Structure 1
Amino acid sequence: MLQNLKNVFDHPKGCPHFCNVKNGSSVKQIPMKKNTLTKTYFLGLLICLAQMATAQQFTVSGRLETEAGAPMNQFRVLVTGSDNQVAITDPSGHFSFTLDAGGDYQITPVSCDEGYLNGVSTFDMVLIVKHIEGLEPLNSPYKILAADVDGSNSINTLDTTIMRQLILNHITEFPVSNFRFVQKDYVFPDPTNPFVPAPPSAITITNLQADINNADFIGIKLGDVNNTAVVDACGDNVSRIIGRVFNDQNTNCASDAGEPGLQGWTVEATNGTDSYYGVTTLTGKYNIAAVPGTFDVILHKPNGLWDACQDTLFGVVVTDIPTAGHDFAMQANMLCASMDVSLSTPFLRRCFDNYYVVNYCNNGTLEAQDASVEVHFDTFFTVLNSSIPWNTVDGNTYTFPIGNVGPGECAAFTVIFNLSCDAALGQTHCTEARIFPDTACGSPFNWDGPELRVKGYCTGDEVKFMIHNMGAPMQLPSNYIVVEDIVVMTPPINNPFTLTAGGMEVITVPANGATWRLEAEQAPGYPWGKMASASVEGCGTNSNGGVSLGFVTKFSPDDESPIIDIDCVENMGSFDPNDKQGFPRGALDEHYIPLQQSIDYLIRFQNTGTDTAFTVKILDTLSSFLDPGTLRFLGSSHPCYLNQLSGNVLEFLFTNILLPDSNVNEPASHGFVKFQIAPKAGLSHGTLVENSAAIYFDFNAPIITNTTWHTLGEKFLDANILNKMPDVALEVFPNPVSDVATFLIKSPHSWKGNLLLYDLAGRQVAQQPFANNQFQLNTKTMDSGVYWFRLDSGGQTLAQGKLVVVRD
């Protein structure tokens, strides 16, 4: 009634022309003079309102269930025709509409467009192949319809090929939909060929004159021919913003048939206070879980090669049901293939077979022709096999052809290798991937072309670093630093330096068992990071006959360019199978990283239960200091869905993972997911970024991982005494020391604070307060070796440096 009143008063021309008055099956029209508020008009209006008030209504209800009778919860059902409504099924699968008598309606269930892997396994593929070959035909028309995943109204090997691609995570959706529906009381003329005639997917009602309580449907999960899909909740039917990002090939700013989606793009919905995010799937679809309200929907482009017909959709209203059709049409402003590659592994164990997952994408506007990925493996690795063939091998460098890669297309492959028993426990192993074509798409206007690369080698008695200019001549000099473990050494020679095109600078340092790192400044405006760097671990031995380990991963590798990824991992013995790690690990106990340093998070899980896990779900609540708009998926052990839920929560959903328990198959009981995200801009030095995750195995209580932490703000320790305050000069004597070291602060002010002492690994080993400008440190109980100290006072660092302790 209220809606009918609104229709009258919102008539587009001010007043309706006629009032339709129903009398049984007939309709009488009372004319009403246009835009004239006369007695005739008000008489007609009163008659209309009286008719509306007494209009008879009926209830149309039904149920959605599977062939096995399982209720389908939270699925949408539409009514169209004389009225348009949406209903959501309840936990028993029921839905209901209240509709005006005499109307014509169509009742249509809607597919749940999430969880395409739900119920789909290799066993389903086996059953379909047996059906195709006539060995064991599928025994119901619903199972036959479920096998037709490509919507061709037939079953053939293309269906099993598509299912295999889904299981291997090469695609994330079926070409048509996830579910189809058939009217429950429909009788198939030929159950062995349910495609002819096409079974009814909607119920049509003409001239509604009574309640209907049997508008029932059978729901069919595509790809599931053994009824294992879980249909107790469709998370797609909550407050959501749904849309698609696509390549607008004909530049008409409309989504036309055949125009491909763009995968892996981030979309943000903001109401000015809170933001919610989604990531596009293989078909370009995004799905943002939000709260009811009004939002601006913003597209985050991966590069500058694309222009949007509209890059912000203003005033999108969200209710308690999904709102769809919020699409972004993308047009190329430059034709160029922009390739991206990433490497991921859960762990490295000596004497065992291990594996890498290699993910790649084309974020450009042009198809990449004859693309390939070149992977240089650590020298302690022996490559055994891979999911795609390699075509050339040069030492430990393998080239994998990946064919043509279209705009927005992403895929992955795996490589299995053995890690030698000769590797030292805790040794770092670095693997580098480079994708081709690797040509840059245009150049930033403020960069004049130099591109520095640093390589490091152990030559036996020394560590040699080479800074090589791969680009145009340097117009301005650059500086470099040399780091021993976490101590900045005095640069040996030629600092700053200038290189011609192809020029090289060589720096050598002693092979003393330390982990050496060289960082060289890139030219101003260089688009992929500020530093070129390389690290060398385990060259020579220290005074104790050992080497320092664990320093390589404290700093970021030189892989800011999207065409290169370097993954450095320490091998390990025993470990927590369900944990979270952040890379780079960061320096000192505070885990210091540069302000704008992206963090690679690795979440590992293992089924240590007593049965196979069918579903694994990971919920990761991001720190408020991280920017969800910079999220980048790097890889996973098994196919998974990435969803960004409300409250900065990431969901990684592994459906039908069939993860065996560790007692049955220990190597196969592990899994992982890896992603990258950057801190928000404008954060202050000292900001603490913490993160943890919850891992769910089927319906069990979650396993909460450890908490990772990083402190924003780069920190090294200086090899020599470095005075941090302008009116402070520090002397330490004797140094080296065997018994007692004296610290003398030369300053016009009196200082008090704390002396902090660190070992080679950056662990704090001592803290001693001081109350005046001269004090002593007793070193008699300390082991021989190199230590680093820092003097702090009132939240400031006065000085820092190196202290050498020797024992007679």
Structure 2
Amino acid sequence: MKKIVTLCFLTVLSLSAFAQSGYVLTGLNLMPNTVTTRCDTAINLGFYAQSAPNNAQSSYTLPWIMTGNNFTASQFQFIVNWGDGASNTFNGGVSNTGVVIPVQPTPQHTYPGPGNYTVTVNIMNFNNQTWVSDSVVLTLGSCQLPIYSLVQVDCNNDGTVDSSLNNVPVPLVISGSGQTYTGIMVNNFYQFTGIEPGLYTLGIDPAWLAANNYVIDNIQGPPALTAGGGAQTVVITLNCGNGGGNLSPMCLNGQIFCDQNNDGQFNGNDTPISNAPVVINYGSGSMIAYTNLQGNYSATYNAVQNALTTVSLNGNWLSQHGFPANLMMDTVMNMPCNAGAVPPNVSFPLNCGANNGNPNCYSGYLFCDANNNGVMDAGELALSNAPVTLTATPPNNINSIVVFTDSTGYFTYCGPLANANFVLATVNQNYLSYLGYTANFGVVTIPANQTGNLPINCGGGAGNGCADLWTTVTPWIGYYQNTTASIKLNWGNYGPSSSGTYTLTFTFPAGVTVNTASINTPGYTLAGNTITWNLPNAWSGYNTTDIITFNIPGGLLNGANHYFTSTITPTGNVQDCNPQNNNGALLQVLGNAYDPNDKNVLKPAFYHNNNLFATDEIESGVQDVLTYTIRFQNTGNAPAQNVVVVDTLDADLDWTSLNVIYSSHDMQVVNMGNGILHFEFNGIWLPDSTTNEPESHGEFMYRIQENSNNDNAEITNTAHIFFDWNPAIVTNTTYNVNIATEGVDELSQGIKVYPNPASNLLNVDAKEAFEYEILDLNGRSIQKGTDGSTGQISLENISAGTYVLRLNVGGTSYMSKLIKR
């Protein structure tokens, strides 16, 4: 026994002494952010010494990096246990760091099927017998299949589409590879996740078809859908299942009231609720009915007999009045108006509590009153995103608040307002004048917990006056090389008149490729990197979104600025009354990290040597208009009932010029004063990302003008996002700076900066000592220092791009745009 111990000790000493020479291995790790969930079941490995290039993950499933001391050319042995019972030994050597090690044979493996596999790698340096080990769990055969589907109804199978099932949850079914998966499509989109690779056929849940009296006529699109092959677009046409029966008028009615004794019945002690919005979703469409002074409503709609219709109270209205938005919903079977029977009754008794159990609420509807009767009638246009001022009655009239209407023209504010029992409502005169509208009232008095009407003369209603076409471009998740990126193109018409024919263009960056199969809006032409539609429209108010995918190739410069832009222009005889919102733009920074809760400001752009650069610089002496986008995502594990974004505006912005231009969901905006805005998504019930990733996102955009006299002003902005009662998520801070654009090289008499653009040296001729600071596009300090009266600033450690140069000469600050080549 003693002899054995001695031998072991001598062996360890020998190895220890031998390990001191050459490249001593000390660690083995996967490249950061390596994806360990894959659709296919074949993988390959790459090995590097000390470091790996940024594009290593585009070449190898698992890029491993060895680390150690005293790097020298070395030979290695690689032993890989694949985790499915198989293992291999490989050999290879390298004389340089940061390059892939040639290995024989090629380290690749195909697994027998989907599953979780633990891959273990052991590497030994032959020169000194040092070794390292690492392992990772791979999830293979877990694929995604995004489906964009337009579901349309040709009820009597005559070849004419009667309606489209927009915003109707449709249960999709895919079958193939011995598996069947289901998912509820919302807003014409659903993404299957965690499915096995292979080909699938698409259908609709037969139980849903039967319950809604539909049969599938045809499905236009690929005959088989490939899991992991990118987004698929299909058009599903349904026929009515009653032998091609026609749509016919259906009727229902009900009552909304405060149920004081909780007996579910309306009686003498109960209080009717007027102007409550009742949403009726009848499969082939939807409508909103409003209760009268007795709390009663009635609705007539064209639908299929015996199909199911869902009736609910508007979730935004419910939450604003303190009621749970998820409980007020019922389903009834359609009954023809001429059936000779009592129509279905859907009533909602509400538990209002003592004194309604809520703080005072002041609500109303803003609309184009085409027939000048002071009441919002069917077909009259709701005015969205309009500022309404609510003022407490004298002598407390200094206590006021500004709210903005949602997509239905509805506004509301619940809370103390000088303890008033009624308020005075007015519409911002600048808003009316800009659109050429006049109010049919001076001031409207709204009692607490009642709903008022604010009728507007919009120029005669549909067919007269002007249209307000708008467009925006918004991002979708990240933007990386060797990936498929999704970009949302949004457009519509705020009214008051139909736009008639219009042209919509969408321009994407050179070097990326559009997937034309992802374009859902037909009738387009593609010329170079511009997509153009010439579209007709007879509606006075609408909004549309098309999610278009693009292939982003590899080999591009990380950090490159890619711009996506859109324009919309009426081509008929109708004038656009607000051309300010006819252009949309999105800057995507290649390789940018993805934060689902962020705030962005649309940055001005300029060309230099045929390259497009973004800058935070805005022109001094000009009141620029800044466009902000705030995105949020529910990354929790349960739906978010309410989302509130608190945004504090910079003091250098004109707070009265706020213009909301887009929102993904119904939104109430409350101006709390002192530049504090509340963007409230009450009753949004935003799904969590683990349950429904595509629908877990929300976003909105607004424009606002800066103040005058803004030389050298720096504008920053940060938002706080609240999901229900959880702590705030604080977004990044946006940054803009005002700089004079004339005489960039000569900042002042006797102060010169040259050359600009510069390579490695920037000359500053200031005639006296100066301090300098170089800022990046987010306002972060990159480099700063001091120099003599005539000096040079080294730019060798700064990457190519656009920056802001700040000089302090004799106590005076100067700013200039700086381009590093």
Instruction: Using structure 1 for the length normalisation, give the TM-score.
Output: 0.50
Residue in structure 2 matched with residue 702 of structure 1 by the alignment = 728
AA at the equivalent of 1:344: T
Partner of 2:681: 653
Alignment of 1:378-393 (within 5 A): 378-379=509-510, 380-385=512-517, 388-393=520-525
Q: Partner residue of 2:366?
A: 245
2:487 to 356, 360, 374: 356
**CA shift at 1:391, angstroms?**
1.4
Q: Is the 8 A contact 1:346 1:672 kept in 2?
A: no
Deviation of 1:671 after TM superposition, in Å, equals 1.6
1:571 correspondence with 2:581: no
Which residue identity is paired with 1:653?
F
Q: Does 1:264 align with 2:384?
A: yes
When residues 792 and 353 of structure 1 are mapped into structure 2, their CA distance, relative to the original with a 3 A threshold, is same
Please tell me the root mean square deviation across aligned C-alpha atoms, in Å. Answer: 5.7
CA distance in 1: counterparts of 2:520 and 2:762, whole angstroms: 63
Counterpart position of 1:618: 644
- Could you tell me whether the CA contact under 8 Å between 1:262 and 1:284 is conserved in 2? yes
From 633, 636, 640, the equivalent of 1:606 is 633
Per-residue Cα deviation, 1:114-170 (whole angstroms, up to 9, x for no partner): 8979xx9xxx979x99xxxxxxxxxxxxxxxxxx99834998589979989x99x9x
Q: Deviation of residue 700 (structure 1)?
A: 3.5
Pairing partner for 1:287 from 403, 406, 412:
412
Structure 2 counterpart SS, 1:331: coil
8 A contact 2:561–2:590 mirrored in 1:
yes
> Structure 1 pair 241/297, CA: closer, same or farther in 2 (3 Å)?
farther
Q: Which residue of 2 aligns with 1:774?
A: 789
Secondary structure, aligned partner of 2:635: coil
Distance in 2 (CA, whole Å) between partners of 1:111 and 1:365 is: 26
CA distance in 2 between counterparts of 1:656 and 1:760 reads: 34
What does residue range 652-671 of structure 1 map to in structure 2 within 5 Å? 652-653=680-681, 655=683, 657=685, 659-662=687-690, 668=694, 671=697
1:724 aligns with 2:751: no
CA distance in 2, matches of 1:325, 1:302: 16
Instruction: Output aligned runs, 1:421-460, within 5 Å.
Output: 421-422=553-554, 423-438=556-571
* SS across alignment from 1:268: strand
Amino acid at match of 1:796: T
Q: Which amino acid letter does the alignment assign opposite residue 456 of structure 2?
A: F
The structure, 1 or 2, with the larger RCO (C-alpha pairs under 8 Å, 6+ apart) is: 1
Cα 1:766–1:650, aligned 2, differ >3 Å: closer, same or farther? Answer: same
Partner of 2:670: 644
Deviation at 1:641, TM superposition (A): 2.8
Letter in 1 for 2:402: Y
Preserved contact between residue 385 and residue 660 of structure 2 (Cα < 8 Å): no
| 1:673 lines up with 2:699 in the alignment | yes
Cα distance change, pair 565–419 in 1 and its aligned pair in 2 (3 A): same
Q: Distance in 1 between matches of 2:700 and 2:304?
A: 36
Deviation (angstroms), 1:675: 0.9
> What corresponds to 1:755 in structure 2?
772
Instruction: Give the conservation status (yes or no) of the 8 Å contact 1:245–1:284.
Output: yes
Question: 1:678 Cα shift?
Answer: 0.8
Match of 1:464 in 2: none
Which of 443, 450, 453 is residue 325 of structure 1 equivalent to? 453
Q: Residue deviations 1:12-69, cap 9 Å, x none?
A: xxxxxxxxxxxxxxxxxxxxxxxxxxxxxxxxxxxxxxxxxxxxxxxxxxxxxxxxxx
**Which residue of structure 2 aligns with residue 714 of structure 1?**
739
CA distance in 1: counterparts of 2:300 and 2:759, whole angstroms: 82
d(CA) in 1 for partners of 2:776, 2:407? 49
Deviation at 1:270, TM superposition (A): 5.7
Q: Which amino acid aligns with 2:784?
A: Q
Q: How does 1:470-481 map to 2 (within 5 A)?
A: none
Q: Is 2:299 aligned against 1:151?
A: yes
Asked if 1:412 corresponds to 2:544, the answer is: yes
The CA deviation at 1:260 is: 0.5
Which digits, 9 at most, give the CA deviation of each residue in 1:629-663, with x for residues without a partner? Answer: 54444445x5343332644433242746553435x
Structure 1 residue identity aligned to 2:412: N
- Structure 2 vs 1, CA of residues 305 and 645 (structure 1 numbering), >3 Å: closer, same or farther? closer
Deviation of 1:312 (Å):
4.0
Q: Which runs of 5+ in 2 are unaligned?
A: 1-254, 287-295, 330-338, 392-396, 606-612
- Where 1:584 maps in the other structure, the secondary structure is coil
The verdict on how the C-alpha distance between 1:275 and 1:386 changes in structure 2, with shifts beyond 3 A counting, is: farther
Counterpart of 1:151 in structure 2: which amino acid?
A
Indicate yes or no: 2:623 matched with 1:596. Answer: yes
How far did residue 417 of structure 1 move? 0.8
Q: 1:343 aligns with which of 464, 467, 473?
A: 473
Deviations 1:452-506 (A, max 9, x none): xxxxxxxxxxxxxxxxxxxxxxxxxxxxxxxxxxxxxxxxxxxxxxxxxxxxxxx
Distance of 2:586 and 2:631 partners within structure 1: 16
Structure 1 gap segments, 5+ residues each: 1-75, 79-86, 96-103, 130-147, 183-192, 202-216, 221-230, 444-526, 529-559, 746-750
8 A Cα contact 1:113 1:236, kept in partner: no
> 1:799 & 1:601 partners in 2: Cα distance?
24
- Structure 1 distance, partners of 2:762, 2:562, is 40
Q: Could you tell me which residue of structure 2 aligns to residue 110 of structure 1?
A: 273
Residues 652/612 of structure 1: CA separation in 2 closer, same or farther (3 Å cut): same
Q: What letter corresponds to residue 404 of structure 2 in structure 1? A: V
- Alignment correspondent of 1:276: 401
**Rounded Cα–Cα distance in structure 2 between residues aligned with 1:391 and 1:804:** 43
Distance change in 2, residues 1:257/1:762 (3 Å): closer
C-alpha contact (below 8 Å) 1:261/1:282 kept by paired residues: no
Rounded to whole Å, the distance in 2 between the matches of 1:237 and 1:615 is 18
| Identity rate, percent | 16
Q: How does 1:213-224 map to 2 (within 5 A)?
A: 218-219=349-350
Residue correspondence of structure 1 range 13-412 to structure 2 within 5 A? 107-110=270-273, 113=276, 151-152=299-300, 156=304, 196=342, 218-219=349-350, 238-250=359-371, 252=372, 254-255=374-375, 257-258=377-378, 260-269=380-389, 271=391, 273=398, 276-289=401-414, 291-292=417-418, 293=420, 295=424, 297-299=426-428, 300-301=430-431, 304=434, 306-310=436-440, 312-313=442-443, 316=445, 321-322=449-450, 324-332=452-460, 335-350=465-480, 351-371=482-502, 373-379=504-510, 380-385=512-517, 388-395=520-527, 396-400=529-533, 403-407=536-540, 409-412=541-544
Q: State the partner residue of 1:532.
A: none
Q: What letter corresponds to residue 375 of structure 1 in structure 2?
A: F
TM-score normalised by structure 2 residue count:
0.50
User: What's the secondary structure of 2:427's corresponding residue?
Assistant: strand
Once the 2 structures are TM-superposed, how far is the Cα of residue 758 of structure 1 from its aligned partner?
Answer: 5.9
Question: How much has 1:607 moved relative to structure 2?
Answer: 3.8
Partner of 1:461: none
Name the aligned partner's letter for residue 273 of structure 2: V
Aligned residues: 512
SS at match of 1:659: coil
Deviation at 1:389, TM superposition (A): 3.3
8 A contact 2:502–2:572 mirrored in 1: no
Superposition map of 1:505-520 within 5 A? none
1:656/1:562 CA distance change after superposition, 3 Å: closer
Structure 1: how far apart are the matches of 2:345 and 2:819?
83
